[in-house]
Amino acid sequence: MNATELANQAQATALRALDLAEAARRAAEYAAPVAAAAEPFLYLLTIFLLACFVGYHVVWNVTPALHSPLMGVTNAISSVIVVGAILAAGTADTTIARIFGFLAVTLAAVNIFGGFMVTRRMLAMFKKKGS
Condensed to tens digits (0 to 9), the pLDDT of residues 95-108 reads: 888 888 888 888 88
User: How many domains does the chain fold into?
Assistant: 2
70 to 33, 55, 76, 118: CA distances (angstroms):
41, 14, 10, 11
60 and 113 inside one domain: yes
122 and 72 inside one domain: yes
46 and 95 inside one domain: yes
9 is in which domain, residue-wise? 1-37
55 and 116 inside one domain: yes
- State the chain's mean pLDDT as an integer: 77
42 to 60, 107, 125: CA distances (angstroms):
27, 20, 46
Question: What pTM was computed for the model?
Answer: 0.41
43 and 105 inside one domain: yes
64 confidence band (pLDDT: 50, 70, 90): low
94 and 122 inside one domain: yes
55 and 81 inside one domain: yes
CA dihedral angle for residue 27, residue 29, residue 30, residue 36, rounded to 10 degrees: 120
Output DSSP code: residue 61: T
12 and 45 inside one domain: no
What pLDDT does residue 34 have?
A: 59
Rounded average pLDDT over 14-34 = 79
Helix locations, 38-94, DSSP H: 40-60, 64-67, 71-90
Burial class (CB in 10 A: 0-12, 13-18, 19+), 38: exposed
20 and 73 inside one domain: no
67 and 84 inside one domain: yes
Percent of the chain's residues with pLDDT above 90: 0
| Nearest by Cα to 41 from 84, 103, 91, 82 | 91
43 and 33 inside one domain: no
51 and 76 inside one domain: yes
